Amino acid sequence: MNQGYHALTTKYNVLFNGKEAFTVGEAILEEAFEDNFYELLPVEPINLRGENIDDTTIVPGFDRAEEKAVKSIQKHSMNINDIQYNSQMDEAYLLLGKARYFDRRFFPALEAFNYLLESGANPSNYVEGKIWREKTNIRLRNVELAIDNLTPLARSLIPNNRFYPQANATLADAYINLKQLDSASFYIKRAALKEPKKKNKARYLFITGQLFESLDKRDSAQWAYSEILALKRKAPRKFLIQAEIKTRMEEEEMGFEERVGAMQKLLKNYENQPFEHVLNRAIAKLYLQQNQDSLALDYFNKSMTSTFLDSYTEIENFQDLADYHFAKGAYLKSGSFLDKLLPLFDEKTTAYKKLKRKRGNLDEVIAYEKTVQDTDSLLGLMSLSQAEQLAYFENYIEEKQQKETLQLQEENAEKRFQFLNRTKTAFYFYNPNQLLQGKQTYLANWGNRPNVDNWRSASAIINLSLEEENGELLKEGTTSIIQETPESFIAELPKTEREKDSLILLNQKAYLQLGMIYKEKFNDFPLAQQRLQKALSLDPTDEIAVQALYHLYRMEEQEGSTYADTYKQQLIANYPETPFARLLSDPENYDTSGMITPETLYAKALDLFENQHLLETLESLEELTVLASGSPIEPKINLLKAHTLGRLNGVAAWKASLNEVATNFSAVEEGIQAKALLAEIEALNDLEETGVIYKNYKWVFPFPITEKENAQKFLTVLGTEVKTYNRFWSVSLDAYNKEFVFVVVHGIRDPKEIENWKIQQERYNSTTVQNDNFVTLASQYREYMKNKTWINTIK
């Protein structure tokens, strides 16, 4: 009687409630799961998007199912002498394992399935438990073990067995994990053919089609998709629509117009409204294949503006649009789509990192194109007469006010009706259109004035101006006065010749950099030629003109154009002393010894710089100027040159050179680094020393640069003698400028130590101290090196 009681109570009470909770969890997971049809579908959905597979699920039901399974085992198990007398315990352990599996606690799930298999379960539960155990092994990445355990079972089951589809689908999942798509397609097809549940059958068939596509078996893939269509309303509609799209995209027998017509017919069906975004995307792809770009972009836009747009389709649309504009040379638009795409990816994924790198490659182009647009616009405005400038800004302000009015109307669309129904005599504060017009009229007449007494008085403006002139900080909350009038905009335009020249130079350099980037980085010769020719048309400086002509020559030469010789002759005739002209006029005798690649020569120059061979560094960089022009290494060369000139000529020259690098290469790492370094130098008041100055001394032996070899020999001799006298002293060879190098003794605490050493050297008849020399404070020596203020008084 106990046996029957426990079995009956388990089946119709505890276990029944557990199975119901499990069914609810499965239904929620199925409903909430978002399939990504642009990648291989999962054989068995288990986690929602955004969930970490290593964490427990947020889907309710599975935890309650586990609770009921545990309760049935604890209260109704009848295990006596290793024999289970309650037949429902197999079901309880099976439910326990499944609940833990979907809760993504795979080790406890594996424990439950192993116990079930070892406890002598009935054949039906044993087979099902074995399949679920191997599912768990796959999740635990024991894929080979799962294949070894499951293959004999999948092969031995007859097709009509109810576990046949599940066993074959699980085996296919294992092979997919191992990237063995051929074997996976074999087993998933077996599962699809015998799966009785139509929703699972549609999934298996779609995966079959995807796998056949990956294996380039187009006919087999079309068969799989047609089988889904044959299910008609029995299959979930999302699979029907995707199968229809796959069929139309690959169907060669139908003409282009027929395929588009079939897609548009699907769009007209109201039942397909939730899938309008994928249908519009499919039509866009068809038009793109036919090079009907405008129609393709129109349908992409329809897809993007659909209220049913899912994140996966949004990602694919952004990716396709970014690639399309990139291929067309519209790098700014491509970059804008990549900017929209990046936030849709998890920063830790490989896809995000690849996308970030791709977007990074466009940073330079986008920065320089923006510079070109801004400077072109400013220069265009500056070329207008004052009357034309006034008319332009009046039109600009009017258009801006119209846009703001429209924006306000859209934002208040839901509330506006209650205000607009008021009588005409109602106070204008309650009419949003009149309210905005009133604000704009006030700003146009009075500007953005502070909320103070006598606000109409000009004294408020005068006081604010005086405070700014005296360098006083405005109190927090004080509103600055900004008057958006044509006159205020005109007043902000550059006025001085210096400002205009700076703007023109920035514009020319941006065109040059764009031309070189398009040539070297993107191999886009038409766009590169357009930008370089534009740079030449702006009457540029010699430095810009030389590089533009050289790169135009190289592109025309590569394309076999007759214009190549024109650019070459123009370069040689007008700029004969430049490295570019010397290379083109006499390439055989141009000194390129030791140059294998720009990178190797840069490494050589860097080594020279680190060893203080500064003049040799400059010579090496001049040789590299031609080879590296327009290449990714060019900014590095210019930054190294700036540091070299700073070491030779002092802080002022260093700042000027850094500013040039920051201006010319503002979009790349070296330009940003130069700008930051420049700001740091200025923040430190040109590296002025403000801390405590300790009494350390330097003993300096100047040598003309022409006697550098003698200086090196003297360094060796002096170093040996110094070490024998004082182990805390050290010597170095420091490059001072283009005329002198210094041999310097460091570590001197008291000048008397030098006199004592001199006496000792005279005693031994040493000639070391006979060289010209002077002693200075370490702080003064640093001043000499920074600002080149040492005056040569040595004869």
Distance CA 402, CA 256 (A): 43
- What's the mean pLDDT in 696-725? 85
Q: Specify the pLDDT at position 288.
A: 92
**Looking at the domain 697-787, which fold is it?**
Alpha-Beta Plaits (3.30.70)
Of the candidates 174, 10, 29, the residue with the CA atom closest to the CA atom of residue 87: 10
Q: Which of 14-18, 38-42, 289-293, 343-347 has the lowest mean pLDDT?
A: 14-18
Q: Check pLDDT > 60 for residue 781.
A: yes
Q: DSSP states of 246-310 as a string? A: HHHHH-SSS-HHHHHHHHHHHHHSGGGGGGHHHHHHHHHHHHHHTT-HHHHHHHHHHHHT-TT--
Q: Specify the pLDDT at position 787.
A: 85
Distance CA 517, CA 521 (A): 5
* pLDDT band, residue 446 (cuts 50/70/90): low
Dihedral, CA of residue 344, residue 348, residue 353 and residue 359, to nearest 10: 40
Q: Which of 171-185, 207-221, 394-408, 556-570 has the lowest mean pLDDT?
A: 394-408
Of the candidates 641, 630, 657, the residue with the CA atom closest to the CA atom of residue 608: 641
Burial classification of residue 566, based on how many CB atoms lie within 10 Å of its CB (0-12 exposed, 13-18 middle, 19 or more buried):
middle
Domains of the chain, by residue range, sit at 1-140, 610-688, 697-787
Segment (H or E) for 774: strand 774-777
Question: 700 forms bridges with which residues in the sheet?
Answer: 744, 774
Q: Specify the pLDDT at position 18.
A: 81
Residues 640 and 633 sit within 8 Å (Cβ to Cβ): no
Question: What pLDDT digit, counting tens, does each position of 451-506 carry?
Answer: 655 555 544 444 444 444 444 444 444 444 556 788 888 888 888 888 888 899 88
Distance CA 555, CA 246 (A): 43
**In the chain, pLDDT over 70 holds for what percent of residues?**
81
Phi, psi of 48 (to 5 degrees): -75, 160
Q: Specify the pLDDT at position 533.
A: 93
* pLDDT band, residue 234 (cuts 50/70/90): very high
Decide: pTM greater than 0.85.
Answer: no
Q: Check pLDDT > 60 for residue 209.
A: yes
Residues 776 and 784 sit within 8 Å (Cβ to Cβ): yes
Of the candidates 509, 515, 443, the residue with the CA atom closest to the CA atom of residue 481: 443
Query: Which residues are CB-contacts of 702 (< 8 A; sequence separation ≥ 6)?
Result: 736, 740, 741, 742, 772, 773, 774, 792, 794
Burial classification of residue 462, based on how many CB atoms lie within 10 Å of its CB (0-12 exposed, 13-18 middle, 19 or more buried):
exposed
Query: Which residues are CB-contacts of 546 (< 8 A; sequence separation ≥ 6)?
Result: 571, 575, 578, 580, 581
Query: Which residues are CB-contacts of 458 (< 8 A; sequence separation ≥ 6)?
Result: none
Q: Check pLDDT > 70 for residue 514.
A: yes
Cα distances (Å, whole numbers) of residue 188 to 157, 191, 218, 629, 685: 15, 5, 17, 56, 73
Distance CA 692, CA 396 (A): 57
Question: What pLDDT digit, counting tens, does each position of 641-660 carry?
Answer: 888 888 888 888 888 888 88
Q: Which of 352-361, 586-595, 619-628, 630-639 has the lowest mean pLDDT?
A: 586-595
Q: Which of 11-15, 175-179, 601-605 has the lowest mean pLDDT?
A: 11-15
Residues 781 and 702 sit within 8 Å (Cβ to Cβ): no
Tell me whether domains 1-140 and 697-787 share a fold: no
Distance CA 689, CA 503 (A): 35
Q: State the Rg of the chain over Cα.
A: 40
Kindly give the residue spans of alpha helices, DSSP state H, lying in 361-423. Answer: 363-382, 386-411, 416-420
Tokens at 674, concatenated: 């130069």
The β-bridge relationship of strands 774-777 and 83-84 is: unpaired
The half-sphere exposure of 570 on its side-chain side, counting CA atoms within 13 A, is: 16
Question: What pLDDT digit, counting tens, does each position of 716-753 carry?
Answer: 888 888 777 777 888 888 888 888 888 898 888 888 88
Q: Specify the pLDDT at position 132.
A: 92
Question: What pLDDT digit, counting tens, does each position of 242-278 carry?
Answer: 999 999 887 777 788 889 999 999 999 999 999 999 9
- The domain over range 1-140 is classified in CATH as 2.60.120: no
Distance CA 41, CA 382 (A): 59
Question: What pLDDT digit, counting tens, does each position of 558-604 carry?
Answer: 888 888 899 999 989 998 888 788 878 877 655 554 444 567 777 88
Dihedral, CA of residue 781, residue 785, residue 790 and residue 792, to nearest 10: 110
- What's the mean pLDDT in 609-619? 83
* Matching residue, tokens 């349908």: 299
Burial classification of residue 513, based on how many CB atoms lie within 10 Å of its CB (0-12 exposed, 13-18 middle, 19 or more buried):
buried
Of 177 and 24, the structure prediction assigns the larger pLDDT to 177
**In the chain, pLDDT over 90 holds for what percent of residues?**
27
Distance CA 88, CA 69 (A): 10
Q: Using DSSP, how many helices (H) and how many strands (E) does the chain show?
A: 37, 6
Residues 322 and 337 sit within 8 Å (Cβ to Cβ): yes
Q: Check pLDDT > 60 for residue 3.
A: no
